[in-house]
Copies of this chain bind each other. A is one copy, B any other.
Amino acid sequence: MIIIGERINGMFRDIAQAIKDRDPSAVHEWARKQEEAGAHYLDINVGPGSTEPVEAMKWLVENTQEVTDLPLCLDSTKYDAIEAGLQVCKKPAMINSVPAEMPKMERVFSMAAEHDAEVIGLAMNEEGIPKDSESRIALAMELVATADAFGVPTDSLYIDPLVLPCNVGQDHGPEVFETLRQVKMLSDPPPKTTVGLSNISQGVKNRELINRVFAVMAMANGLDSAIADACDDELMESVATARIILNMDIYCDSFVDVFRKSNR
Contact = CB atoms under 8 A, between A and B. Distances in A.
Given A166-B251, A204-B251, A210 B241 contact: yes
A177 to B, nearest CB: 6
Contacts of A205: 253
Contacts of A145: none
A11 interface: no
A210 B219 CA distance: 14
A124 interface: no
A116 interface: no
Nearest to A256: B206
Interface string A186-229: 00000000000000100011100110011011111100000000
Contact of A170 (B166, B216, B219, B250): B250
Given A217-B220, A221-B220, A244 B166 contact: yes
B214 A217 contact: no
Number of copies: 2
B209 A241 contact: yes
A135 interface: no
A41 to B, nearest CB: 23
B167 A251 contact: yes
B244 A170 contact: yes
Contact of A245 (B166, B242, B247, B251): B166
A213 B212 CA distance: 9
B171 A247 contact: yes
A136 B200 CA distance: 34
Contacts of A92: none
A174 interface: yes
A216 B204 CA distance: 20
B209 A237 contact: yes
Contacts of A206: 237, 241, 255-256
A246 interface: yes
Given A205-B253, A206-B241, A241-B206, A177 B247 contact: no
A173 interface: yes
Given A166-B251, A204-B251, A210-B244, 8 more contacts: A170-B247, A170-B250, A173-B247, A206-B255, A217-B217, A217-B242, A217-B246, A218-B220
7 contacts: A173-B247, A204-B253, A206-B241, A210-B241, A213-B242, A214-B241, A217-B246
Ranked 7 nearest A-B pairs via Cβ: A217-B220, A213-B241, A220-B220, A167-B251, A205-B253, A173-B245, A170-B247
